Amino acid sequence: MSLLEVDGLSKAFRGVQAVDGATFSVESGELVGLIGPNGAGKTTTFDLVSGHLSPDSGTVRLAGDDVTDAEPHALARQGLVRTFQQSRELTTMTVRENVALGDPDNPGERAPMAVFREGAVAEHETQIADRVERLLDIFELTEVADDYAATLSGGQRKLLEVARALMLDPDLLMLDEPFAGVNPTLQKRIVEHVRRLHAEEGRAFLIIEHEIETLADLVERIVVLDQGSVLTTGTPEEVLNDERVIDAYLGG
Ligand SMILES: Nc1ncnc2c1ncn2[C@@H]1O[C@H](COP(=O)(O)OP(=O)(O)OP(=O)(O)O)[C@@H](O)[C@H]1O
C-alpha cells in the first residue's frame, strides 16, 4: 500500500480541464518531484489532494484511507500538509507566532494535537516551544523571530512556510515551488533540510518545482504532468531524457 494514492483525479473550471484523470502514487518515505509545463495542472492537483478543492471525479487515498474531499485540517491530522506557491503567513503576527501556530488552514489549537498525540499538557508546551526554536534556528529565522512576518523577504517567507508546515509533523509534505524567489544560499538550506527529513526521519515529499535541475538533484523519482494527466514517471535521469517530456515542454 502506498502512502498516497491518487486515482483518476479530474477537475474542470468552466470548460478548462485543469486535471484530467491524473493517477500516481507516493510511497512512504519517498522523495518525489511533480513537474510539467505551465498550466499542466500541478497546483490544481495539489489543491485537490490537500482538500483545498473538490475533484469532479477520482479518489485520493492516504495510508489506505479514502480522504477524497477531506478538509485540509483533517488531512493534516492524518499526516498530509502542503505549502503554497504564494506563502500564506499571517503578516500581523511575529515570525515565531507564525511557526508556533502551524499552517493557517490548520487551526492553531490543532497543531499541538498533530505534533504530540499523547502525554502531559505542560510537557507538550515545552516540547512545542523547543520545536519552534529548533525550526527557527534550522531555517535561520531566529534573528527575525520577533519581527512581524510582513517584514520578511520573499525567500524568508518560503522558509517560514516550510517551518510552519513541519510543526504539524507530516508524514507527507507537499511543497509548491519551495525554491521560487529564494536566494541560492537559502535554497541550499531548504535542500539540506528536505534531505535530512527524508533520510533521518523517513518523511515523504511531493515537490512542484520549475527549477528542474535543483529538483532532479534532490528527488528519487519525478512524475510528469501534461494537460492534466500523468505523461510518465521515473528517475530524474529517465524522465529528463524522455522525448515525450522534452516535446511536452517545447510544445507547452
Ligand atoms: N480557479 C481557476 N479558474 C479557472 N481556471 C483555472 C483555475 N485554476 C487553474 N485554472 C486553469 O487550469 C489549468 C491548470 O492550472 P494549474 O495552475 O493547476 O497549472 P500548473 O501546472 O500549476 O501551472 P504553473 O506551472 O503555471 O503554475 C490552467 O489552464 C489554468 O489556467
Atom 11, ligand 1: residue with shortest CA distance: 18
Distance 36 CA to ligand 1 centre (A): 12
- Counting from 1 in the atom list of ligand 1, the atom nearest the Cα of 210 is 25
Q: Is the pLDDT of residue 22 over 80?
A: yes
Give the per-residue pLDDT at 129: 84
**Prediction pTM value:** 0.89
Distance 16 CA to ligand 1 centre (A): 9
Task: Write down how long the chain is.
Answer: 252
Label the pairing between strands 172-176 and 57-62. Answer: unpaired
Q: What is the pLDDT of residues 197-240, one digit of tens each?
A: 999 999 999 999 998 889 999 999 999 999 999 999 999 999 99
Q: What is the pLDDT of residues 73-119, one digit of tens each?
A: 899 889 999 988 776 667 778 999 889 886 444 444 444 444 544 55
The helix/strand/coil state of 40 is coil
Cell (9 digits) for 98: 507564525
Which of 32-36, 43-47, 88-92, 105-109 comes out lowest in average pLDDT?
105-109
φ, ψ of residue 77 in degrees (nearest 5): -65, -30
Q: What is the pLDDT of residues 156-210, one digit of tens each?
A: 888 888 888 888 889 999 999 998 888 888 888 889 889 999 999 999 999 999 9
Q: What is the pLDDT of residues 112-141, one digit of tens each?
A: 444 544 555 566 677 778 889 999 998 889
83 lines ligand 1 (CB under 6 A): no
Which uninterrupted H or E stretch holds 137? helix 121-138
Which uninterrupted H or E stretch holds 229? strand 229-234
Q: Which of 6, 11, 13 to mutate to test the pocket of ligand 1 (most atoms within 8 A of CB)?
A: 13
